[in-house]
Structure 1
Amino acid sequence: MGIRYYAYAFDSDQAGKALADPRTMIGPDPLADAFGLEPGFVRGVTDLRQSLPERDLLYLDKAWPYLQRLTAPRSSGSAARASYRMFEGHVTHADDGFTWQPWVRALPPHEVALIARDLEAIDDHDINAVLGGSRSSGQSLESEMAYAAAFLDRAKDFVRAAASDGRGFAYMIG
């Protein structure tokens, strides 16, 4: 199934609880939430619409490594973009790589506002500069860049809404 990214918004009055234990903000079955299925599904039919409103759940599928690379420090010793805080992290592999423990973090409302401003500053030029130079040109590269750009737009919308509502969010890579 692969490692995916999910973020769940929370109201400012839940920030203390979220920071103490970010996992309490993450749904019991994030993939089911993202695909509009019942938690714990084994088989089902779905129209692939999220169970939760887009203001409450951000699903980045497997685009998060692109967004992580886009916002990470450009070189050793340089600073990451403010928005890197929402993409930072890696799973911890176990059982000789057959299983993993997810990375989970909560971001309080004041950080979400900074992230929102930084995400708005990222444009197609940044995507081309960072992601375009990582491979040879061709259809595959263009497709990957379009995939990353589409999910960046989703992230911008989610974080913009959370910031305007004074909300934080907890995210999971796993």
Structure 2
Amino acid sequence: MGIRYSACSVRASDDELVRRDPLAYMNDTFSTSASASEECDPEDRWLDLDKSWREFQRLLTWSHRVPADTGFDLVRGDVTYPEGYENGYLCHYGILTPEEAEVVARELAHIDKVDVLAMYVENGRVGDRLREDVSYVGYHLERAKEFVSRRAAAGEGIVYRIG
């Protein structure tokens, strides 16, 4: 299955709640979204980057970018293996304030599939899978851009899980 990435919106009034227990907040948001009426589109409150989060980390830190100046906070972190690799991992949770979501949205707006292709080429990635990989990461990039820009426009933050 692999390690995956998912994120959901955080209302400004829920900041303390999400910081206290990000997993419970995400589970509650998922339950609420899944059972909500058609007025609330669950896709509007959730982002699933599948396994492309690692490529996002590379994309947002490759040679011409400085992590402090990018949208890297959207995918910062990794799972940990406290009892060794063979004994499973602990998920990483990250929280972005509404202000941080706004910065990420601005930064992601300047990145597109051409940047994804350039990242792969610069890192020596060529061959049969190049087109497929660019398409896969590019698809998730567009979804991330839409999700984060909606959150920023709504004055909301984001909580995410890698794991």
Where on the TM-score scale, by shorter chain, does this alignment land: which range? 0.7 to 0.9
- Among candidates 68, 85, 95, match of residue 106 of structure 1: 95
Does the Cα contact within 8 Å between 1:132 and 1:145 map onto a contact in 2? no
Query: Within 2, Cα distance between the matches of 1:170 and 1:137?
Result: 34
Query: Within 2, Cα distance between the matches of 1:166 and 1:154?
Result: 18
Supply the RMSD in Å over aligned alpha carbons: 2.7
Question: Which residue number corresponds to residue 27 of structure 2?
Answer: 27
Q: Residue 85 in 1 paired to residue 73 in 2?
A: yes
Question: Which residue number corresponds to residue 15 of structure 2?
Answer: 15
1:73 Cα offset (Å)? 5.4
Structure 1: 5+ residue stretches without partners: 39-50
* Residue type at the aligned position of 1:97: E
1:110 Cα offset (Å)? 0.5
1:52 Cα offset (Å)? 6.1
Question: Which residue number corresponds to residue 46 of structure 1?
Answer: none
Question: Which residue number corresponds to residue 132 of structure 2?
Answer: 143
1:164 Cα offset (Å)? 0.7
Tell me the TM-score normalised to structure 2 length: 0.83
- Among candidates 52, 58, 65, match of residue 47 of structure 2: 58
Structure 2: 5+ residue stretches without partners: none
Query: Within 2, Cα distance between the matches of 1:91 and 1:106?
Result: 15
1:173 Cα offset (Å)? 0.3
Tell me the TM-score normalised to structure 1 length: 0.78
Number of aligned pairs? 156
1:20 Cα offset (Å)? 4.1
* Residue type at the aligned position of 2:54: P
Does the Cα contact within 8 Å between 2:94 and 2:161 map onto a contact in 1? yes
